[in-house]
Amino acid sequence: MRVLGIDPGLRIAGYGCIEFNRLSNQTKLIEAGAIKLDVTQSVSFRLSELFDDIQDVIKELQPEFIAVETIFTHKRQVSTATILGYARGVILLAGQRASLPLVELTPAEIKKAISGNGRATKEQMQQAVSNILKLKTAPHPSDVADALGIAITAAIRMPKL
């Protein structure tokens, strides 16, 4: 099964596509990268760019489903959650337009599944993803490792797709 994981953002949105073979329990990296958006542009401009770029990634990689991290908020960063919600919205729209099933995962469940620690640091996640995919170097930036972690967690938890 081919899974596209996306770590939403309006500065950097990470994506990672994996193939997971349930019979052999093997995970293979297909492609991963970061969509870097120009923060000097308006939010609406960046949303449009993100939508177009995600559509291109979906078209190129042909995933069977998409996995996206849910929104989390910190008391001191409520406005960040709102912006993240906008990014998630265009990602969900791109997936819907491609008629792809969606899996939503919390940051804690992704971290727990990948590293064994629901409060893992960015560095711990990068190392854990690198180990799972047998990569020579850790995915960079951390948004890419997060996206791969999202894809891996979704693949493991979706036995019927």
Q: Which residues are catalytic?
A: 7, 69, 143
How far is it, in rounded angstroms, from Cα 156 to Cα 27? 10
H helical segments located in the chain: 43-61, 78-97, 107-115, 122-132, 142-157
Structural tokens at position 129? 């993803």
Q: Which residues share a beta bridge with 102?
A: 66
DSSP string, 41-88: S-HHHHHHHHHHHHHHHHHHH--SEEEEEPP---GGGHHHHHHHHHHH
Element (H, E) at 13: strand 12-21
Structural tokens at position 60? 């190129």
